[in-house]
Chain A
Amino acid sequence: MAPALPSPCVPGTRWWRDDPAEGTEPDYRFTLANERTFLAWIRTSLGLLAGGVAVRQLVEPFGVTGSRTALALLAIGASVVLAAGGYVRWVTVQRAVRRGEPLPAAPLVPLSALVLVVIGVTAFVLVVTE
């Protein structure tokens, strides 16, 4: 009889949290490296959050009406996506490490690059066309 394929999640566990009972306890350095990566995503998210609020509060209005608010909302929205994605990434990597499986793909990296390019280009256009 062929061995059963590993299920995406052990019955009784929840996808949104790390379960220490799942798999085996990994080398503490892997756990800490994953924790540092999570914190790096959180700091990126905090930076976007602060930037969004600062654009709305500290920057002089641009020539286009509502553009300052739109730019702030774009940054804060990106902050939400990166924070949520960073947490999901932490859980999935921790689970993969516990199971001894390959690390999952990281779609958050190109996504964050794309978002930052959009925010940067938008800010550039607004500043230049003022």
Chain B
Amino acid sequence: MSERDEGMANERTALAWWRTALAAVVAAGLIVRGAAGTVEAVVLGAIAAAALAVVLVVALGRARALTAQNRAAPAALTTVPVAAALLVLQVVALIVVL
């Protein structure tokens, strides 16, 4: 990678990861709030929190790597766990809604 990042692609991608992490915090917060009144509140809350933790860890790691202009982590190692964590959040949300 050249020293000069034309278009600031790394920085824009790192910011996209931060926005996604913030969106995940909001969604997980609403899910946990919704689960508070259910019998399985602790289990559902723990699962949602674990899924959120996965998103945050991946987002933080990827954003730091991109900001440091270090492409050590292939994108596949970030997209797959985030998609899987989102699937878990969706399942928990379905249980909460139903």
Interface size class of B (residues with CB under 8 A): 35 or more
Chain B residues with Cβ under 8 A from A83's Cβ? 83, 86-87, 90
- Give residues in B with beta carbon < 8 Å to A: 1, 6-7, 9-10, 12-13, 16-17, 19-20, 23-24, 26-27, 30-31, 33-34, 66, 71, 74-76, 78-80, 82-83, 86-87, 89-90, 93-94, 96-98
- Would you mind naming 5 contact pairs between A and B with Cβ atoms under 8 Å apart? A35-B16, A39-B13, A40-B16, A53-B30, A72-B97
CB distance B74 to A20 under 8 Å? Answer: yes
Chain A residues with Cβ under 8 A from B6's Cβ? 29
Chain B residues with Cβ under 8 A from A86's Cβ? 83
Task: Across the interface, name the chain A residue whose C-beta is closest to B76.
Answer: A18
Task: Across the interface, name the chain A residue whose C-beta is closest to B5.
Answer: A29
CB distance B20 to A39 under 8 Å? Answer: yes
- Give residues in A with beta carbon < 8 Å to B: 17-18, 20, 28-29, 31-36, 38-40, 42-43, 45-47, 49-50, 52-54, 56-57, 69, 72-73, 76, 79-80, 83-84, 86-87, 90, 94
CB distance A32 to B27 under 8 Å? Answer: no
Assembled-state Cα–Cα distance A46/B24 (Å): 6
Q: How far is the CB of A26 from chain B (nearest CB, A)?
A: 11
Assembled-state Cα–Cα distance A43/B17 (Å): 10
Assembled-state Cα–Cα distance A29/B20 (Å): 19
Q: How far is the CB of B50 from chain A (nearest CB, A)?
A: 16
Assembled-state Cα–Cα distance A38/B33 (Å): 27
CB distance B34 to A43 under 8 Å? Answer: no
Q: How far is the CB of B55 from chain A (nearest CB, A)?
A: 9
Assembled-state Cα–Cα distance A7/B7 (Å): 34
Chain A residues with Cβ under 8 A from B86's Cβ? 42, 45-46, 49, 83
Known: A28-B9, A83-B86. A76 touches B97 (CB 8 A): yes
CB distance A57 to B13 under 8 Å? Answer: no
